[in-house]
Amino acid sequence: MVLAVCGIAAAAQTNLRTTGHSVQELVPEGWINIAEAQGDLNKDGIEDFVIVAAPSEDERPVLAIYWGDVNGFYTLHEAYDSIMPHSEEEFSMVDLSISITKRGVLRIDSQLSYSAGSTGNERQTHMFRYQDGDFYQIGFEIAGYSRYTGESEEQSYNYLTHKRKTTYGNVFQDGYKDKIVWSNLEREPLKRLGSFEM
């Protein structure tokens, strides 16, 4: 099921503005501006704009992607209102951040932490590239460690080379030599941004 909606329909559903010059013009009054990033996503030489915002602290954040023009004006490409990670448990918290690399890759980072009821923390990074008229996931990273033992594990997936790198370590032990294991991934079609919940 594709959860993304586009154009004016997206703006009607999320209340985000379809056009504007700044985050203040695009995000409605009263909303929480969680993160924003600028960079050239579609490789046209013009900076684009990505916003993560939520109507309130209790509601799921919306991810919105805007194309830029030579006059510094942004037009909504697509908004996604049901895919971003958010805290659903009393003692959990999700920190979100986004960035755009020099190569135009959109990185969506989430850090899940617990104040009680769990011994670990988890970090995830989803990487998307604009191609063939849409955004596709080209990479994924997930890492976590135990707050009691310090044992850590990080997995890095490259969906272009079909390789997975797994790193085992310990954040408490100085000089600990990480163990790295490489494995192959099955060749599957790249997933579209909006086709799954992060």
DSSP string, 41-60: SSSSSS-EEEEEEESSTTS-
Instruction: Report H helices in 15-147.
Output: 23-26
Residue 113 has a pLDDT of 75
- On whether the pTM is more than 0.75, the answer is yes
Task: Please write the tens of the pLDDT for every residue from 105-128.
Answer: 999 999 987 665 566 678 999 999
Phi-psi bin for 195: left (phi > 0), alpha (psi -120 to 50), beta?
alpha
Q: What number of residues does the chain have?
A: 198
Mean per-residue pLDDT over the chain, rounded: 88
Instruction: Using CA atoms of 110, 115, 120, 122 in order, give the dihedral in degrees to the nearest 10.
Output: 0
